[in-house]
Amino acid sequence: MPTTRELADRFLEARKAAWANADPTTAIVSTEQLNPDDEQALRRFLEDAGYRGKELDRVAAQVAALVVGRVEALADDLPATGGD
C-alpha cells in the first residue's frame, strides 16, 4: 500500500486537469478544507486504490489534510525572512 504522502501526490496530479479551469486555491486556503467536488473525487480515488469503510474514512482525512497543507504552502507568497 502506498503511503498517505504518495496518495496525496497522486491525487494532486490527478486533479491538475480539473483545477486548470477553476483554480480552487483561494477557497481551499480560506476554508482550510477541500471543496465538496474534491472530497468526492478524493473518496473515489481512494476507493479505486482499494480503501473501504472506516479505513477509507481515516485515509481520506489524512490525505485531505496533506493536500490542503500542500495547496496552502504553494499559495504562500510571503517572502521568507532570513536571520537578520
pLDDT of residue 4: 92
How many domains in the chain? 1
- Residue range 11-55, pLDDT digits in tens: 999 888 888 777 778 788 778 889 899 999 999 999 999 999 999
Res. 82: pLDDT tops 80: no
**Containing structural domain, residue 10:** 4-75
Task: For residue 25, tell me if it sits in a domain.
Answer: yes
Task: For residue 68, tell me if it sits in a domain.
Answer: yes
Q: Do residues 68 and 28 make contact, with C-beta atoms less than 8 angstroms apart?
A: yes
Of 81 and 6, the structure prediction assigns the larger pLDDT to: 6
Task: For residue 83, tell me if it sits in a domain.
Answer: no
Task: For residue 34, tell me if it sits in a domain.
Answer: yes
- Residue range 49-73, pLDDT digits in tens: 999 999 999 999 999 999 999 888 8
Res. 84: pLDDT tops 60: no
Q: Which of 34, 37, 35 is nearest to 65 (CA)?
A: 34
DSSP calls for 3-54: -HHHHHHHHHHHHHHHHHHS--HHHHHHHTS--HHHHHHHHHHHHHTT--HH
Give dist(CA 49, CA 47) in Å, integer: 5
